[in-house]
């Protein structure tokens, strides 16, 4: 079994905690930058390549700005994400807008920003024309239906997904959009989530490259972009092997050379929309053990809860846990690590073998840099935590303060009920 080591030491954590009480999400600037550079290197063979970071994974302007400096764009799916991206100076072709069941104001905002708009459904062709207009470049999202497998079992079930169009609908959408003035087209698809295999992107690329050739022959559409979307996962468990982005990029290149180049379509730009792969390993939830309980099982209660990290409670997801200062101690105690919500599924770990944990110990919950803070909520009146950036020089910066009770009450029109409180 391989090791999972946190990117901070106990001493570093204690320095941060002196300024920012736990719980908080912490991000590693050095790791984020190095990973973004690896991704760009892996696809450097494609002249038009761009990674559009999935804003929904970690919507913080400091992190978006770091990724912008490394050449990334943004993938947005809502009005607010578009506003956040605009505030970070993303514009035009730096923004990909992929949405479903899209409100009119969202579509209009994307159009006004001159973003790449990715249509989820055939009916959205007329919707786009009506509420905004038809830009010169339009993407359409493809759903092949059925199941998706890599020869070693089913990876996912596109046929059960609400996203995308059939091939016939794609052809009709392109034809109608060309009649409305569109000149360049893109293809987008997402067939599997959190894959830990180097084969996923190349297999998906092959499917989309062949689709591009067929659609071009069928409609005459000038297809210039193919967006592989996200789905490249991370090794949440220590025993899992990590994806090798260089091998993945080379696998996509081979499919490109085999399928698109002979068809005279070798000028197509490849896009990706990774959120989890870009940030998950470079974030962690830092929390303090505040209680222990000894009944039918052994429990350690921490000051974080599922409102700070929903994935274990919602999906049963595994997140590795390190007790800082006890990295090399034997894992000879079996614990459920719990939060304080009035829900029995509020557990970060169940029957997890860990070193002996004492009250006051600082725990790092790994791989929360994507779909961690962003999925937080206020159930039980819990307040969203702070976010902190560990800078490359070892200093730390508060990049989102923790919510306060005043924030919780701010949207309630009930001043008489809490005007006496000191918030």
The predicted-structure confidence for 234-275, as pLDDT tens digits, reads as follows 999 999 999 999 999 999 999 999 999 999 999 999 999 999
**HSE-CB of 201 using CA atoms within 13 angstroms:** 33
Averaged over 325-350, what is the pLDDT? Answer: 97
pLDDT digits (tens, 9 = 90+) for 54-81: 999 999 999 999 999 999 999 999 999 9
Position 298 pLDDT exceeds 90: yes
Position 132 pLDDT exceeds 90: yes
Position 416 pLDDT exceeds 80: no
Both tokens of 87, joined, read: 């505030």
Given pLDDT bands bounded at 50, 70 and 90, which one contains residue 144?
A: confident
Position 1 pLDDT exceeds 50: no
Mean pLDDT, the chain, whole residue set: 94
Cβ neighbors of 196 (< 8 A, separation 6 or more) are: 233, 234, 235, 240, 241, 242, 243
| Distance in angstroms (rounded) separating the CA atoms of residues 327 and 112 | 51
The pTM (predicted TM-score) of the whole model is 0.94
What is residue 193's predicted lDDT score, i.e. its pLDDT? Answer: 83
Q: What are the CA-CA distances from residue 77 to residues 34, 85, 100, 252, 297 (Å)?
A: 26, 11, 8, 26, 43
pLDDT digits (tens, 9 = 90+) for 152-164: 454 567 777 788 9
Helix (H) or strand (E) run with residue 85 in it? helix 79-87
What is residue 417's predicted lDDT score, i.e. its pLDDT? Answer: 64
pLDDT digits (tens, 9 = 90+) for 373-396: 999 999 999 999 999 999 999 999
pLDDT digits (tens, 9 = 90+) for 66-125: 999 999 999 999 999 999 999 999 999 999 999 999 999 999 999 999 999 999 999 999
Chain centroid to CA 71:
17
What is residue 355's predicted lDDT score, i.e. its pLDDT? Answer: 98
Position 48 pLDDT exceeds 70: yes
Q: What are the backbone angles phi and psi of residue 270, rounded to the nearest 5°? A: -100, 130
Check: CB of residue 209 under 8 Å from CB of residue 168: no
Name the residue with tokens 């930058």.
33
- The backbone region for 406, taken as left when phi is positive above 0, alpha when psi lies in -120 to 50, beta otherwise, is alpha
Helix (H) or strand (E) run with residue 269 in it? strand 269-272
At CA 378, angle to CA 372 and CA 379, rounded to 5?
Answer: 110
Share of the chain above pLDDT 70, in %: 95
DSSP 8-state code for residue 278: H
């Amino acid at each position: 079994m391989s090791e999972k080591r946190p990117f901070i030491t106990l001493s570093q954590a204690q320095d941060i905690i002196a300024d920012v009480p736990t719980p908080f999400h912490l991000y590693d600037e050095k790791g984020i930058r190095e990973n973004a550079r690896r991704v760009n290197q892996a696809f450097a063979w494609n002249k038009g390549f761009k990674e559009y970071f999935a804003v929904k994974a970690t919507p913080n302007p400091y992190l978006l700005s770091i990724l912008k400096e490394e050449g990334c764009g943004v993938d947005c799916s809502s009005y607010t994400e578009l506003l956040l991206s605009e505030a970070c100076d993303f514009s035009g072709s730096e923004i990909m807008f992929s949405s479903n069941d899209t409100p009119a104001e969202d579509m209009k905002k994307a159009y006004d920003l001159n973003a790449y708009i990715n249509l989820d459904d055939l009916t959205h062709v007329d919707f786009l024309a009506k509420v905004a207009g038809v830009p010169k470049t339009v993407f359409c999202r493809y759903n092949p239906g059925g199941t998706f497998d890599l020869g070693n079992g089913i990876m996912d079930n596109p046929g059960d997904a609400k996203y995308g169009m059939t091939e016939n609908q794609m052809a009709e959408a392109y034809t109608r959009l060309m009649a409305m003035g569109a000149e360049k087209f893109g293809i987008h698809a997402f067939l599997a989530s959190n894959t830990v295999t180097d084969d996923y992107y190349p297999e998906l690329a092959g499917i989309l490259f062949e689709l591009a050739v067929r659609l071009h022959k069928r409609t005459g559409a000038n297809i210039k972009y193919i967006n592989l979307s996200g789905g490249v996962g991370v090794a949440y468990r220590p025993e899992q092997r990590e994806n090798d982005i260089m091998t993945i990029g080379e696998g996509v290149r081979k499919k490109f050379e085999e399928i698109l180049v002979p068809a005279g379509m070798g000028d197509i730009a490849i896009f990706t929309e990774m959120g989890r792969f870009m940030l998950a390993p470079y974030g962690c939830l830092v929390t303090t053990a505040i209680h222990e309980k000894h009944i039918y099982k052994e429990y350690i209660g921490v000051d974080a809860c599922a409102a700070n990290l929903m994935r274990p409670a919602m999906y049963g997801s595994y997140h590795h846990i390190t007790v800082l200062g006890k990295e090399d101690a034997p894992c000879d105690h079996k614990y459920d690590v719990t939060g304080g919500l009035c829900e029995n599924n509020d557990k970060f770990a169940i029957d997890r073998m860990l070193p002996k944990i004492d009250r006051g110990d600082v725990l790092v919950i790994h791989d929360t840099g994507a779909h961690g803070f962003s999925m937080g909520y206020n159930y039980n009146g819990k307040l969203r935590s702070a976010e902190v950036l560990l800078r490359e020089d070892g200093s730390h910066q508060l990049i989102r303060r923790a919510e306060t009770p005043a924030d919780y009450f701010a949207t309630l029109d009930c001043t008489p009920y809490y005007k006496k409180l000191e918030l």
